[in-house]
Amino acid sequence: MKKYLCFLLLFCLGCQTTSSKSEQTLRLSINQDPISFDPRQGGDDITSMVLGLLFDGLVKEENGEIKNNLASHIEISENGLIYIFKLKNTFWSNGEKVTAYDFEQSWKRIIDPRFETHYSYMLYTIKNARAANANEKPLNDVGIWALDEHTLKVELEHPAPYFLHQLLRPSFAPVYYKLDQTFPNWTHPKEKRYVSNGAFLLDFYEDNDEVILKKNPYYHEVEKVHLNKIHFAIIDSPTTVFDLFMSKELDWFGYPTSDISQELIDSAKKSYPIHPLNICSVNIVEFNTRVFPFSNAHIRKALTLALNRKKITQSRSINEKIATSFLPPQTQLQKKPYFKDCDSKQALWHLEQGLKELNLKKSDLDHITLGFGSSENNNRTAQILQQQWQKTLGIHIDLHPFEWKVFFDLLGTENVPFGMYTWSSELNDPICNLNLFQYEDNYLNSSGWSDPGYAALLEMSDSCKHIKKRKQMLHLAEKILMDAMPICPLYYKKEIYFKKDNLHGIEISKMGDVNFKYAYFK
């Protein structure tokens, strides 16, 4: 609270309403500390947003299309396995040249099983990356080679029409490998050695307080960057963020920087236009199929079919669509629902079958704990789920809100036998969601569910060059997934944001990623 009061005082004394325009300083809030300032280690929405301002990769997205960024030319072999990237002359924030060797070493470091990251799986498209990450092959066998300073060669495990889209993620940005080899802790702000190649530099960071970025004079498109600084105040209270926004001390309120409740939406839209945003995300409940009672498919189906998703979305009042699939509308393979919403009759039948198979009484299912990340919206949704399961099935589910990091650490353990969260697609391709369940040992597969037929279809789709046949394979895999129901889809998320009227230049991708890189005040 003391830090927050100091922050508020600073804005009141030194950052009046006109300062954003005259100083080109963007004032934002984020509801958590970035997990890491290393692009190889951070993948959540907040961290990815900050890393996207600090680092640039080979490609970028403009108007929904992939364009060259640090790459001046990209050559793809006829079989779709070999990619040759020719690099532009660009520089690190210390003035050193960005080279193909930086990319090679950065990517191989993510794959190295000794390197601490949850995002090595993102590079499994590359030849031998998965085997090397499992210690089955040496890193030298991975299909990544710097042929010279300006030429990077990449060989894929299989043709991947989405590979260039993958390169948009922070995991594929380079790090300055000479520094990384000499000072492994260079990403810790207190080391004062931080080097990046993006539009902004890390100027200041204090835990649970603020992050300050400043313009990078060595950025390869510095003439397009109008902001001199970006201030992120770390505030986990949506009400506090709302108050600061309404008092003109913040320039943005809502997605992706902070949670926003319906009450705050109703208040904010009295003074500012509301900006709805369809993002490529689905809110789900994920069952841990390795533990009681969710090892039983009937129990999973009973809880899934018992829910009235329309009532859940009505409680949110932002016209969200109910979900009966794990794939969001942008990548859906089947228009027909996989199950009927609020099918009480079938839910009770599956409950009866599950209890028989497990030799249990209904009361034995009472007080199983649903975990979720704590927020006003999540708390409300979880309470609705609890009420509906009680009403339809006669089962009392306990609710346990966690801090986000704690929740994801516990998800998939006996402490959180099932959990509610939002899965955001990183690619505009069904494989992004379906891959989550391809391997039981995937760190992100908290359900522990896997199926040989499912995995085989995904592997076959990887080598299929025929677009229609590939979709058919993915569709069959999705049917297997939805029949097993290791996850319970709830609704497709829609997000809301408000901004100051004189803030322009915000870029929003097809996937719903918000980019402040070229923002400016007019």
Strands (E), 243-318: 252-254, 275-287
Q: Tell me the chain's radius of gyration from C-alpha atoms.
A: 24
- Residue-wise pLDDT for 334-388, tens only, equals 999 999 999 999 999 999 999 999 999 999 999 999 999 988 889 999 999 999 9
- Confidence category of residue 441, pLDDT binned at 50, 70, 90: confident
Residue with tokens 């004394």: 13
Alpha carbons 355 and 293: distance in angstroms, whole number: 9
Helices (H), 308-410: 309-316, 344-358, 376-393, 404-410
- Confidence category of residue 462, pLDDT binned at 50, 70, 90: confident
pLDDT for 426 equals 80
Alpha carbons 10 and 354: distance in angstroms, whole number: 59
Which residue in 230, 266, 236, 235 sits closest to 251, CA to CA?
230
C-alpha distance from residue 184 to each of 37, 178, 187 (Å):
13, 10, 8
Query: Considering the chain, what percentage of its residues have pLDDT values greater than 90?
Result: 76
pTM for the predicted model, two decimal places: 0.85
When pLDDT is averaged across residues 489-517 and rounded to a whole number, the result is 92
Q: Is 191 exposed, middle or buried (0-12, 13-18, 19+ CB in 10 A)?
A: exposed
- Residue-wise pLDDT for 29-77, tens only, equals 998 899 899 999 987 889 999 999 999 999 999 888 899 999 999 999 9
Instruction: Output 329 or 261, whichever has higher pLDDT.
Output: 329
Which residue in 517, 522, 6 sits closest to 230, CA to CA?
517
Alpha carbons 501 and 404: distance in angstroms, whole number: 32
pLDDT at 15 over 50: no
pLDDT for 14 equals 42
Token pair belonging to 153:
């060669």
| Residue ranges of domains in the chain, CATH in brackets | 2-6+19-31+199-272+500-521 (3.40.190.10), 59-182 (3.90.76.10), 278-494 (3.10.105.10)
Token pair belonging to 414:
């006996």
